[in-house]
Structure 1
Amino acid sequence: MLGKQYLKYVSSNILGMMGLSFYILADTYFVAARLGADGLAALNIAIPGYSLVNATGLMVAMGGAVRYTIAQSQGQKKQAHEIFTKTMLTGWFFAAIYLLMGIFLATPFASLLGAEGEILPMTADYLRMMLLFGVFFISNDMMLAFVRNDGAPRLAMIGMICGSLTNVVLDYVFIFPLDMGLFGAALATGFSPAVSMCVMSIHVWKKKNGFAFCRVKEVAKSGLLFCKLGISAFINEFATGVVLTVFNLLILSITGNTGVAAYGVIANIALVGTAVYTGLSQGTQPLVSQYYGKRDHHSTRKLYGFAISSALLLGAVMIAIAWGFTEPLVSVFNGEGNEALQTMAEEGLRLYFIGFLSAGINIVSAVYLGAVEQPMPSFFIAMTRGVVAILIFAFLLSALFGMLGIWLAFPAAEGATCLLTAVFMWRSRKRENKN
Structure 2
Amino acid sequence: MKPNAILKDFTHFVSLNVLGMIGLSCYILADTFFVAKGLGTNGLTALGLAISGYSFIQGTGLMIGVGGATRYAIWKSQGKHDAANRVFTHSVVLAIAAGFLFAAAGLFLSTPISRLLGADGLILDMTALYLKTVLCFSPFFILNNLMLAFVRNDGNPHLAMAAMLAGSLSNVLLDYILIFPLDMGIFGAALATGLAPILGMAVLSIHIVKRRNGFHLRRIRPDPACALDLCSLGLSSLITELASGLVLIVFNLVILRLSGNIGVAAYSVVANLSLVVISIFTGIAQGLQPLVSSSYGRAQYVELSQLLRYAVLLSVVLAVLLYLVACLFSDGLVAIFNREADPQLAALAKDGLLLYFAGFLFAGFNIVTSAYLSAVAQPRPAFAVCILRGCVAILPAVFALAALWGMNGVWLSFPCAEAIASVAGIFALRRSFPGEKQKNSPVSPIRPV
Per the normalisation by structure 1, the TM-score is 0.99
Distance 1:130 1:216 in 2: 31
Question: Are 1:325 and 2:368 matched, yes or no?
Answer: no
Q: Which amino acid aligns with 1:126?
A: Y
Q: What's 1:264 paired with?
A: 268
Counterpart mapping for 1:240-319 below 5 A: 240-319=244-323
Aligned twin of 2:238: 234
State the percentage of identical aligned residues: 49
Establish whether residue 347 from structure 1 lines up as the match of residue 351 from structure 2. yes
Give the alignment of 1:28-427 within 5 angstroms.
28-427=32-431
Letter in 2 for 1:384: L
> Residue 213 of structure 1 aligns to a residue in which SS?
coil
Aligned to 2:447: none
The Cα of 1:433 is off from its aligned counterpart by 6.8
Q: Extract unaligned runs of 5+ from structure 2.
A: 440-449
Amino acid at match of 1:327: D
Tell me how many residue pairs correspond in the alignment: 435
CA offsets 1:186-209 (integer angstroms, 9 cap, x no match): 000000000011111111111111
Q: Secondary structure at the match of 2:216?
A: coil
In structure 1, distance between residues paired with 2:327 and 2:68 = 39
1:4 aligns with 2:14: no
**Does the residue aligned with 1:31 lie in a helix, a strand or coil?**
helix
Let me know the Cα RMSD of the aligned residues: 1.0
Structure-1 separation of matches of 2:229 and 2:96: 16
Q: Give the superposition deviation at 1:219.
A: 3.9
For 2:255 and 2:110, how far apart are their aligned partners in 1?
23
Pair 1:208–1:343, CA change in 2 (3 A): same
Alpha carbons 1:45, 1:244 under 8 Å: kept: yes
1:15 aligned partner: 19
Q: Give distance in 2, aligned partners of 1:203 and 1:43.
A: 35
Per-residue deviation at 1:102?
Answer: 1.2
**Cα distance change on mapping 1:432 and 1:426 into 2, 3 Å:** farther
Contact 1:397–1:409 (8 Å) recurs in 2: yes
Alignment partner of 2:393: what SS? Answer: helix
C-alpha distance after superposition, 1:393-412 (max 9, x if no partner)? 10110011000101101111
What are the Cα deviations for residues 2-35 of structure 1, in whole angstroms up to 9, with x where unaligned?
1111011100000000000000000000000011
The alpha carbon displacement at 1:431 in A equals: 4.9
Query: Which string of whole-angstrom CA distances, capped at 9 and with x for unpartnered residues, describes residues 60-99 of structure 1?
Result: 1111011000011011111111111111101111111111
- 1:239 is displaced (CA, Å) by 1.1
CA contact (8 A) 1:13 1:280 kept: yes
Q: 1:25 and 1:59 mapped to 2: Cα distance?
A: 22
| Deviation at residue 429 of structure 1 after TM alignment | 2.2
Label 1:246 to 1:310 Cα distance change in 2 as closer, same or farther (>3 A): same
TM-score, normalisation: structure 2 = 0.96
Q: Which amino acid aligns with 2:89?
A: T
The Cα of 1:390 is off from its aligned counterpart by: 1.0
Between stretches 264-273 and 220-229, larger displacement belongs to: 220-229
Q: Is the 8 A contact 1:90 1:220 kept in 2?
A: no
The 8 Å contact of residues 90 and 219 in structure 1, kept in 2 or not, is answered as: no
Separation in structure 2 between the aligned mates of residue 421 and residue 212 of structure 1, nearest angstrom: 36
Per the TM alignment, residue 432 of structure 1 is displaced from its structure 2 partner at its CA by 7.0
Distance 2:102 2:427 in 1: 37
Q: Give the CA deviation at 1:376.
A: 0.4
Structure 2 residue matching 1:363: 3-state secondary structure:
helix
* Alpha-carbon distance in structure 1 between the residues aligned to 2:34 and 2:77: 45
